[in-house]
Amino acid sequence: MPYGFTPEHLALAEKVRTFADTVVRPAAYEYDTRRELPQAIIAEMGAMGLFGLALPPEYGGSGPDYTAFCLAVEQIARVDQSLAVTLEAGIGLGAVPVLRFGTEEQKRTWLPSLARGEALAAFGLTEADAGSDASGTRTTADLIDGHWVINGTKQFITNSGTAITTLITVTAVTGERTREDGTRAPELSAFLVPVPTPGLEVGPAYDKVGWHTSDTHPLTFTDVLIPEANLLGERGRGYANAVTCLDEGRIAFAALCTGAAQGCLEEALRHSQEREVFGRTLGSNQHVAFMVARMQARVHTARLAWVEAARLMEVGERFKMAASLAKLVGAESAVANAHDASQIFGGYGFLNENLVARHYRDAKVLEVGEGTTEVQLGVIARELGLTETGMRRT
């Protein structure tokens, strides 16, 4: 089987591909223009079981099968990155933290509705001064009379303001700890904050360059009161656990990047075969043919990278560097393919109604989301033993 996929994987990929081409793609431009998350399509994805692919059956899922999850994300991303990241973040950053670190009660409370796609969860890590460097976190959580009181702000939080958002995992400072080198650092812990909760304000959606359909908001926490039992995982392990989820999430994000690169390739190939210039097809020009061939090489390399990272993760081997490599290669492939496809389309590639144009706008954030290119390079360098990268472990 190609890339080591099983027959079940290929059948799922074909099923999701058909859904993407017949349901998602025809509606994508309309929702992109309206900057609105298509709730009806999300419901269809839930009914298909896509939000439960990485979750065990005892919590309402059909997995855990991370490769299947990545394949679904890739197929959706071919035609709509916004909807693909809604799925990717809904599982990878929404459900997976609860699955990995939640108590049994927390899992049974939150995961079934997430697995059915009836609810979405968000992950509140990033702040104005704490993106790549989590030590800059300013949001605090104080334990008072059996309740955690949370104050602070978060930004760029995906899936945080939808009509079906029910949960936000929030990282906050709960004290201080001593690093191995003797310096002091914030003690970060993670908390489950139900939506709605008094004191939690979801700000207006961002006016983004791309990913118009993806739901993204700033959040403000003003004396938000949650039970002591809403601590997720051990106190002081919030950042470490977040990194674990991000490592896993980067694999699915790399699959999203691969899907975007694949979508650009398919559009460029079709246009090159159909468009006639100076009495012959555009693709008969060697320069264009070579551009398309290079696009295929990028897609192939990106897919190999995420499949290898997923395989390592699923068999319990160390996968941190593989995940960062996959995310790095995938993002760069998507950006390059979007550029080349737009060039092949010429003026048509500059029209928002054209899928290639939307990929061109959307692709840039792939070099930023779930760890910038520079963060991935830093992770890879450290994994190679080059520790002096200017990036301190928090």
* Residue 166 phi, psi dihedral angles, 5° rounding: -120, -10
Residue type for position 271: H
Q: What are residue 360's phi and psi, to 5 degrees?
A: -60, -40
| In contact, 302 and 330? CB cutoff 8 Å | yes
Q: Which residues of 156-192 are buried (b: 16+ CB within 10 A; e: fewer)?
A: bbbbbbbebbbbbbbbbbbeeeeeeeeeebbbbbbbb
306: DSSP letter: H
Do 225 and 41 meet the contact criterion of CB atoms below 8 Å apart? no
Residues 6 or more apart from 143 whose CB is under 8 A from it? 149, 174, 228
Q: Which residue has the tokens 């190939």?
A: 269
Alpha helices in the chain (DSSP H): 7-19, 25-34, 39-47, 66-77, 81-89, 96-101, 104-115, 238-274, 286-314, 320-345, 355-363, 373-383
Exposed, middle or buried, 34 (CB in 10 Å: 0-12/13-18/19+)?
Answer: exposed
* List 370, 374, 383, 388, catalytic entry: 370
DSSP state of 204: P
Q: Rounded CA gap, 372 and 365, in Å?
A: 9
Active-site residue 370, yes or no? yes
Q: What is the DSSP letter of 315?
A: T
Measured in whole angstroms, how far is the alpha carbon of residue 24 from the centre of its chain? 18
Residue pair 232/97 in contact by the 8 Å Cβ criterion: yes
Task: Report how far residue 149's alpha carbon sits from residue 258's, in angstroms, rounded to the nearest whole number.
Answer: 41
C-alpha dihedral over 90, 96, 102, 105, to 10 degrees?
60
- 58, 107 contact by CB (below 8 A): no
Rg (CA), the chain: 21
Residues designated catalytic: 370
